[in-house]
Each structure stands twice: as C-alpha cells, then as structure tokens.
Amino acid sequence: MGYTFDIELDTEQPFIVELDMAEHKAQTISGVIALKLGRADSFRIATIAIHGHIGAMLNVDTPEHAIVREPLVSSSVDLVAANDTDGRGIIHIDAGEQYIPFRIDIPRAYELPPTLINKLDTPYIDWKYEIHATLRRSYFFSSTRVVKHDLILRRPIAPTSESTLTASMDRSGQYKSKLTAPGRLVLGQDRLLAKVELETRNKEFMIKEVDCSIVQIEEVDYVTRLEHPSVENANVPGAHCTVNSSRLVSALVVVPNDDSDMDFGRFNPVEFDLRVDNDQLIPTEHGLGWLNISHVLRYTVHFMDVNQPALITELPLFVANEVISKACSAKMRPQPSSARLVDSLKVEGTEDHHLQHDRESTPESD
C-alpha cells in the first residue's frame, strides 16, 4: 500500500507568513508533514526546505538584455537526523494519519521582498518562494517524492499617514479648494470615498470639471549579488535592474460643471466614489531600499479658461495588506504568462524529483 503526504504550517492563514523585521535574526516557522499510510513504513529521506529565487532583466549596454537568476533564500532541515532514534539513518512511521513536526528558519527575513509585490506591471523582474517536503522510503528502489507549495511572505509596514487627510488651497480673489479623503486603504477594499469643497471667486477661474483617481508608483533598482561574467559591461557584482513606473489602480472619476455654475462645489461638496482595482493594487512598501511602492490620491481642477493650467493636488495614501479577498488571494499565485519571468524561475535541486502520487511503482508497494 502507498502513502500520501502534505505540508501544514502553524500560520494564521495557510502558507502566508508575516515576516519578522528584527535585523540580524533568523525567523523560525513551524508545522508538520501530514502523512496517510496504509501500513507502518520507514523513511530514509525526510526534509523540509524553503527556497526563494529572483529573476531580473538587467539594464546594461548589450545587444540583448541579459536575464539573470539568483537565490533570495535557501533553508533546509533534515527531519531524519532530528527523529532518528536508533542511529540507523531511518525513521519509522506507524500506519494511519501521522505527523512529522518541523521547525525551519528563514534567514535574513527583514531583507526579503514580499511576494505580493510580484504583481508589478513589468516583465523585467519577478520572484517567488516555495516550501518543499521531500520523502523517500528506506527501500532500495523507492523514488523520491516532493510536495511543493507557493509560500506568500508579507512585510508589516507601519502607516505613515493619519486615518483622514485634508489638502487645502486658497488663492485670494481666485478660488478656494479643500479635499478630504481617507489616508488608508486595505487589500480587498473595492471603493474609496473622497469629497471636495470648492469656491470660485472670479469668472476667470470658473471651474470646468474636477477629477480624482488613485495612482500607484513603482520604483525598483535591484542590484545583483552574484557574478555574471557573461554580461558585457556589467560590474561584478553590481548589475542593475531598474524599473520606474506609475499606473492607475482605481477608476478616474470626472465630475463636470455642466451648468457653468459659479457656485459649483460651494454649497454641495463634490463627492468622488473611487472604484479600486484589486487585481493591480499592491501594498505600500518602503523598507528594502531597492524596492519602493507608494500611492497617492490625485485630484485635478480644470478651468473653463484654457489659458489657466490645470491644478493637481496629491495626497499620500497608505495601502495595508492585512485584508485579502478571495480574488486577490488567487492572484497572488504566479499565473502562466510568457511575458513574465516567474515561470522560468527554477528551484535548484528539485528538477528531477517526482511529484506526489497516490501509489509508488516499486516492488514493496503492494
């Protein structure tokens, strides 16, 4: 009879780990390898491992951009050595539902980029983490079997803004504007409400329309750690992968002054109901040095007089990661796409392993 197994972690949400920001300290996570055995059995190999790799397309002066891959983290624990009671290099497991407990370290947790960030809207850089459980029975012809799960790492970032923010502009004899909006948003939240009070004081500054949106700013300057001698003109180490972009992560709400009303927004504040696109939204990140994700609430006033330039006001917006919707959770797993590097990231040493199956094709699995 064969056996099946899987990994269970002692985390609040399955396979989601909140990173410990304490520097120069390894973070330990615990769990079990859960087995179902039709009969008592023994294992010569039983390991648990965490792997993380990054892939980057370097910005260097070459005819073709070079793609490099290097590890972010690698940690492994030999569970046979930890549970071998008779010194024979084998652990014995009784029939039925059984559990092999483990504790494994995540080195330099404070340096690791969170997995949610691999939703960056760029094909130039990507990364992933996996946790592997590897088992091999003690019989001579037994095959090695591996169960893998994507591991989601999240970094707690303290908000830098208050719960409600206000931006005011008052120009004597021209106009007055006051924008009020929340300074905090969470993943899974599908809307954000803001309002603006306006007062036109001169016909030359009559307002044509106002608009509002949430903008996500993504800044990456990753420097490779490994030597890449095949990359022409790349320092060794020190080759850069640089990405600077911004994108709307909400609807652009436009409210026109259809009646050419001098009192537009004066007695009845203009309200913006911003619909948030959770498929693009990424938590705020500013603790790694090479990776910064920030958000602003962008509010623009357009005037009837085309000679008057539009006025743009931006409020900082903090995006927290403590709430994750089902739709967002599904998006966190790497999706097949020829445009992304994540599909080509390999975890070294696992390519020849067999994935889990219900029955081994070996003489002893009768």
Residues 143 and 282 in one domain: no
Whole-number Cα distances in Å, 146 to 23, 232, 350, 355: 32, 38, 8, 5
CATH number at residue 168: 2.60.40.640
Residues 33 and 146 in one domain: yes
Residues 216 and 283 in one domain: yes
pLDDT of residue 159: 67
Tell me the CB-side half-sphere exposure of residue 143, using CA atoms within 13 A: 17
pLDDT of residue 144: 92
Residues 316 and 171 in one domain: yes
Q: What is the pTM of this model?
A: 0.78
pLDDT of residue 135: 94
**Torsions phi, psi of 79, nearest 5?**
-80, -20
Does 365 fall in a domain? no
Does 70 fall in a domain? yes
Q: pLDDT tens, position by position, for the chain (366 residues)? A: 588 999 999 998 899 999 988 877 789 999 999 999 999 998 999 999 999 999 888 765 555 567 788 899 999 999 998 777 677 788 888 999 999 999 999 999 989 999 988 788 888 899 999 999 999 998 888 889 999 999 999 888 776 656 888 988 888 888 889 999 999 998 888 999 999 999 888 888 999 999 999 999 999 999 887 766 555 544 456 778 888 999 999 999 999 999 888 889 889 999 999 999 988 899 999 888 899 999 999 999 999 998 889 999 999 999 988 654 444 444 433 333 334 555 556 555 444 443 443 344 333 443
Residues 143 and 177 in one domain: no
Pick from 155, 140, 164, 177: which is nearest to 16 by CA?
Answer: 155
Phi-psi region of 286 (alpha: psi -120 to 50; beta: other; left: phi over 0): alpha
Residues 294 and 347 in one domain: no
Domains identified in the chain, total number: 2
Does 52 fall in a domain? yes
Whole-number Cα distances in Å, 270 to 30, 59, 253: 52, 45, 11
Residues 152 and 18 in one domain: yes
Does 325 fall in a domain? no
Residues 295 and 341 in one domain: no
Residues 75 and 215 in one domain: no
Q: In terms of C-beta density within 10 A (0-12 exposed, 13-18 middle, 19 or more buried), how is residue 138 classed?
A: middle
Kindly report the length of the chain: 366
Does 74 fall in a domain? yes
Does 366 fall in a domain? no
Residues 7 and 143 in one domain: yes
Residues 108 and 202 in one domain: no
Distance of CA 158 to the CA centre of its chain: 16
Residue 58 to residue 223: CA distance in whole angstroms? 9
Q: Tell me which residue range forms the domain holding 20.
A: 3-156+330-355
Tracing tokens 């064969």 back to the chain, one arrives at 2
Residues 152 and 171 in one domain: no
pLDDT of residue 237: 63
pLDDT of residue 348: 53
